């Protein structure tokens, strides 16, 4: 079993839709959870960062962590065409600056 599993999609939604992106993991030591956004032919950029369980909101984006289920989610409200990108989850046991384990990424297209 892979340490981090992420549905690669692709996922296509109309503009304004609520998008849900998810990852599951197997290593119970993971405590630091991140979401990165990667536009085509660019490097990933940090979007959201959470520690342990709970929710974190930043504008239209909400990150949720359920450590009991080993499941993390990223919600995008009122999705925009500019949100079209690949979203990668990442996690670590020792902190966001230490070696991260990445999911394979989910490709999202938001259609105008």
> Which stretches of the chain bind another protein, using CB under 8 A?
6, 8, 32, 34, 36, 41-46, 49, 51, 88, 90, 95-100, 102-105
Nearer Cβ to another protein, position 99 or 112? Answer: 99
Rounded alpha-carbon distances, angstroms, from residue 1 to 5, 15, 26: 9, 35, 8
Nearer Cβ to another protein, position 29 or 99? Answer: 99
CA dist 65 and 63 (Å) reads 7
Q: Rounded to the nearest whole angstrom, what is the least distance from the CB of residue 15 to another protein in the complex?
A: 27
CA dist 68 and 26 (Å) reads 11
Q: Rounded to the nearest whole angstrom, what is the least distance from the CB of residue 76 to another protein in the complex?
A: 19
Nearer Cβ to another protein, position 45 or 78? Answer: 45
Q: Rounded to the nearest whole angstrom, what is the least distance from the CB of residue 43 to another protein in the complex?
A: 3
Nearer Cβ to another protein, position 13 or 96? Answer: 96
Other C-beta atoms lying within 10 Å of the C-beta of residue 109: 14
């Amino acid at each position: 079993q892979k340490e981090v599993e992420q549905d690669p999609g692709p996922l296509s939604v109309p503009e304004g839709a609520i998008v849900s992106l998810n990852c599951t993991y197997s290593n119970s030591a993971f405590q630091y959870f991140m979401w990165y956004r990667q536009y085509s032919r660019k490097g990933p950029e940090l979007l959201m960062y959470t520690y342990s369980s709970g929710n974190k909101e930043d504008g239209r984006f909400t990150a949720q962590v359920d450590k009991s289920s080993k499941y993390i989610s990223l919600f995008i409200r009122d999705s925009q065409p500019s949100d079209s990108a690949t979203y990668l989850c990442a996690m670590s046991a020792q902190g966001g600056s230490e070696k991260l384990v990445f999911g394979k990424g989910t490709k999202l297209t938001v259609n105008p």
